[in-house]
Amino acid sequence: MARLIRTEKEVEGNYTEQWVVVEGDDALEQWPEGPRTVVGRPAPRQDGHQRARGQALYTADLALPGMLHAAVLRSPFARARVKKLELSRALQAPGVVGAIGPGDCHVLTLEPSFHGAPVAAVAADTLQRARAALELIDVEWEELEPLLDAEEAVRQESFLEEPRSYARGDLEAGFAEAEVVVEAEYRTQTVLHNSLETHQSVCRWEGDTLEVYISTQYIWGVRDSVAGQLGLPPDRVRVVCNFMGGGFGSKNSPGDYTYVAIALAGKTGAPIRCALTRREENLATGNRNSTIQRLRVGARSDGTLVALEGEFVNAVGWAGFSGPTYGPVEMLYACDNVRTLTYGTKLNLPPNAAFRAPGFVEGTFGLECVLDELAARLELDPLELRRRNHADHDLADGRPFSSKNLLECYRRAEPHWGRRDDVRASSNGPVQRGTGLASQIWYGGGGPPSYAWVRLGSDGRAAVITAMQDIGTGTRTAMAQIAAEELGLPLDRVRVELGDSARGPYASISAGSSTTPSMGPAVRAAAADAARQIVEIAAQRYHLEERVLSLEGGNVVSADGGSWPLEEVTGLLEDAQILGKGARGPNPTGMRVLTFGIQVADVSVDVETGEVRVDRIAAIHDVGRVINPLGARSQVEGGIIQGVGHTLSEERLVDPGTGTVLTQTLDAYKLPTIADVPEMVVELLDIPDQHLTNIGSKGLGEPPIVPTAAAIVNAIRDATGADVRSLPVSREEMLRALEEAREREKKLAAAPA
């Protein structure tokens, strides 16, 4: 029976209340802790060969008959007014079939407010001809003065939303009680997602249905947005994404390119591909915005935190959202007196987008660095300082955690942390070495609604059917493992059909570390529903009671030793099939579901050149039950590597005078390469969350990038005594911090004892 439940839903820290319908038995007992037959054991990706051999068809590879290519005219200015826009010359260019301007499509504008804002677009038979035609659009720009500086935006009160204030306890009383107060300002840079498949879609009308083939993290979100924008019934928009080449948070919505493709498809009657170039990708598809963080922390001499204050300025851009940079300050430690103030500034810069743990990556850098500065002042072991301030419930609202094993993570970090004397001792000449650590807190509980079907044929093979997407995280494989476990089937007899809103039930977004905790329980429930039907059929066929039958190793087995191959039972159906249905149930009422962890970094700093190398990172995370240890390790390593890039090399540079983006190419924007990778040790606790769903799994995509920057910068302090306050740790910043540390030493030496 379908049950209607009112429940809380969380995506990346945003909580909403909503109704969900739950069918099937989502309240199955969790499997016992530890590896099962399939779940919890390493499984190579089911689509690994397809991807590795270049046989997987990404949106980038799709060529529909008669398809035209779109190119978009984007503003070369951070702020301008289009005084004249004439498309006729472009329309007459060879191969050009259609052109659109601001009146034709809502994403096009005559008042571009950031470099890269879309103004017009053309469709031609080849991409080259479409690009060439852009040059023939007659456009007159009136360049206007842009607002680029976030501090200036605060002064002018240029905000995207009201400044956010938060307070608990009595901050002033806390500081009055403090024996040590540390105050510091931290800055983080703007970084770009740079998924290797650029943002793109192919749109065509098929009868009265609009088909959108798109590289997306959220098939159903695209469907709803497009249907809403066009005023279509949602089922007349079909969204397809079988394979996609990375997103990292930037592909959660349709984007300007999809609406451009739709408008040109309407205008020309042909399928339209709108694929962004790498340069457009680095202008107009979102970013992790820069931040300024002013932190003040007060503690007693034993390290107990008695006051935490943070003022955060998020340089959001022209649109987007003001991320939870304040999150770690409010949530990570048991401090009773906390106050934060956060500004989301509106600037003539490209809009931000969610980027792998948005806000928390930035906020953890500030908080975990200031905590180490505090530990240095108190002459207290940084790990011990964190232990002493462990939060055993949510300080914001008193809720218990559904599960929290951070202290166990700390315990397992000890051997890595314990190496630091040896690491320091290995310093050699100008190369100083040291070790640092940082804690991690983030969401990752997922939630309803999410649905899955499991179909079994007479051949005893199963298909999991759900309209989710696998953005490269390996969820296809994890879902197959969950279904195989529940059906007692070898993994190679389960496949997952996903990626098409017309061919499966609603599935959650692949963002917010929510895919496995949202989809996994629905898949297990659907497999259990199918398993129950098989047992019912077998019981009737073999004249046994259902309670003595179970599914194991591809067989139906009975308690008295009988065993029948599954296909013998399902073979009775001939061409008929068994269909199991499952839904994700609600999250535990009144509990806070979060992920936790710690990373320990070893670094080498050349104090003469300012070069920093990360030598080793140990990552210990508590994300509940691990479904696929092989894929999980890869995700943790990948998160750390993105964190290393964020810390050391990546930075979007903007001309401070004009607001134009200078780093549009992958030679200018420095992603980590294979030569930049440190030694990595990954440990996942693999303790199921007893309160969370029928699988006890949390998400894993985001936690590993959260503490990396702080751990590295704290290791730099350990190695050199220098306080890095700004990311990336360029050589200039490193040399500045070293010089400041030397000046401080000099003053200290000169001061009377």
Partner 1 sequence: MFSLRINGSVREVDPPVGRTLAETLREDLGLTGTKVACGEGHCGACTVQLDGSPVLSCITLVHTVGDREVTTIEGLRDHPLVEAFVRTDALQCGFCTPGQIVSAAALVEAEPNPDVERIRHAMAGNLCRCGAYPRIEEAVLTWRD
Shortest distance, position 52 Cβ to partner 1, whole Å: 5
Closest to 683 measured CA to CA, from 592, 614, 617, 740: 617
The answer to whether 189 touches 203, Cβ cutoff 8 Å, is: no
Shortest distance, position 365 Cβ to partner 1, whole Å: 19
Shortest distance, position 452 Cβ to partner 1, whole Å: 22
Shortest distance, position 282 Cβ to partner 1, whole Å: 10
Q: By rule CB under 8 A, what count of residues binds partner 1?
A: 55
Binding partner 1 (rule: CB under 8 A), the pick from 85, 244, 413, 727 is 244
Distance CA 556, CA 407 (A): 43
- Near partner 1 by CB under 8 A, which window of 174-182, 405-413, 442-450, 467-475? 467-475
Closest to 186 measured CA to CA, from 719, 745, 709, 598: 709
Distance CA 605, CA 678 (A): 14
Site string for partner 1, 623-662 (x = CB under 8 A): -------xx-xxx-xxxxxx--------------------
198 part of the interface to partner 1, by CB under 8 A: yes
Shortest distance, position 639 Cβ to partner 1, whole Å: 7
Shortest distance, position 58 Cβ to partner 1, whole Å: 7
Closest to 541 measured CA to CA, from 517, 570, 513, 520: 570
- CA 349 to the chain's CA centroid: 22
- CA 657 to the chain's CA centroid: 32
Sheet architecture: strand order including 180-188: 164-168, 338-346, 305-317, 291-299, 180-188
Q: Which residue has the tokens 């399902």?
A: 570
436 three-class SS? strand
For residue 701, CA distances in Å to 149, 623, 631 come to: 32, 10, 11
Binding partner 1 (rule: CB under 8 A), the pick from 21, 27, 63, 573 is 63
Binding partner 1 (rule: CB under 8 A), the pick from 40, 358, 363, 472 is 472
675 part of the interface to partner 1, by CB under 8 A: yes
197 part of the interface to partner 1, by CB under 8 A: yes
666 part of the interface to partner 1, by CB under 8 A: yes
- Near partner 1 by CB under 8 A, which window of 242-250, 320-328, 358-366, 725-733? 242-250
Distance CA 35, CA 55 (A): 32
Considering the complex, state which of residue 47 and residue 211 has its C-beta at the smaller distance from partner 1: 47
Distance CA 745, CA 409 (A): 35
Binding partner 1 (rule: CB under 8 A), the pick from 26, 38, 39, 45 is 45
Query: What's 212's DSSP letter?
Result: E
613 part of the interface to partner 1, by CB under 8 A: no
Binding partner 1 (rule: CB under 8 A), the pick from 21, 176, 196, 334 is 196
58 part of the interface to partner 1, by CB under 8 A: yes
663 part of the interface to partner 1, by CB under 8 A: no
Say how many residues make up the chain: 753
- Near partner 1 by CB under 8 A, which window of 362-370, 437-445, 674-682, 710-718? 674-682
Considering the complex, state which of residue 52 and residue 396 has its C-beta at the smaller distance from partner 1: 52
Cα Rg of the chain (Å, integer): 27
Binding partner 1 (rule: CB under 8 A), the pick from 15, 19, 21, 49 is 49
Shortest distance, position 193 Cβ to partner 1, whole Å: 8
- Near partner 1 by CB under 8 A, which window of 395-403, 500-508, 600-608, 668-676? 668-676
Considering the complex, state which of residue 455 and residue 670 has its C-beta at the smaller distance from partner 1: 670
Shortest distance, position 642 Cβ to partner 1, whole Å: 6
Site string for partner 1, 678-717 (x = CB under 8 A): --x-------------------------------------
> Residue 378 contacts by C-beta under 8 Å, 6 or more apart in sequence?
180, 299, 301, 303, 385
Binding partner 1 (rule: CB under 8 A), the pick from 195, 405, 466, 475 is 195
* DSSP letter for each residue of 519-566: HHHHHHHHHHHHHHHHHHHHHHHHT--GGGEEEETTEEEETTS-EEEH
Number of helices and strands in the chain (H, E): 19, 27
Binding partner 1 (rule: CB under 8 A), the pick from 667, 750, 751, 752 is 667
- Near partner 1 by CB under 8 A, which window of 142-150, 238-246, 367-375, 617-625? 238-246
Q: Which residues sit opposite 388 in a β-bridge?
A: none
Is beta strand 209-214 parallel, antiparallel or unpaired with respect to 237-240? parallel
The angle formed by the CA atoms of residues 310, 316 and 322, to the nearest 5 degrees, is 55
Shortest distance, position 264 Cβ to partner 1, whole Å: 19
359 three-class SS? coil
388 part of the interface to partner 1, by CB under 8 A: no
For residue 524, CA distances in Å to 269, 570, 612 come to: 43, 20, 46
Considering the complex, state which of residue 608 and residue 679 has its C-beta at the smaller distance from partner 1: 679
246 part of the interface to partner 1, by CB under 8 A: yes
Binding partner 1 (rule: CB under 8 A), the pick from 364, 473, 660, 693 is 473
Shortest distance, position 227 Cβ to partner 1, whole Å: 27
Shortest distance, position 582 Cβ to partner 1, whole Å: 27
Considering the complex, state which of residue 63 and residue 502 has its C-beta at the smaller distance from partner 1: 63
Shortest distance, position 62 Cβ to partner 1, whole Å: 9
The angle formed by the CA atoms of residues 196, 201 and 205, to the nearest 5 degrees, is 165
The answer to whether 46 touches 480, Cβ cutoff 8 Å, is: yes
* DSSP letter for each residue of 587-627: PPTT-B--EEEEEEEEEEEETTT--EEEEEEEEEEE-BS-S
Closest to 596 measured CA to CA, from 324, 407, 373: 407
Distance CA 283, CA 256 (A): 12
Q: How many CB atoms lie under 10 A from the CB of residue 743?
A: 10
Distance CA 604, CA 430 (A): 10
User: Which residues of this chain interact with partner 1, rule CB under 8 A?
Assistant: 44-45, 47-49, 51-58, 60-61, 63, 128, 193-198, 243-246, 248, 277-278, 471-474, 630-631, 633-635, 637-642, 665-667, 671-675, 677, 680
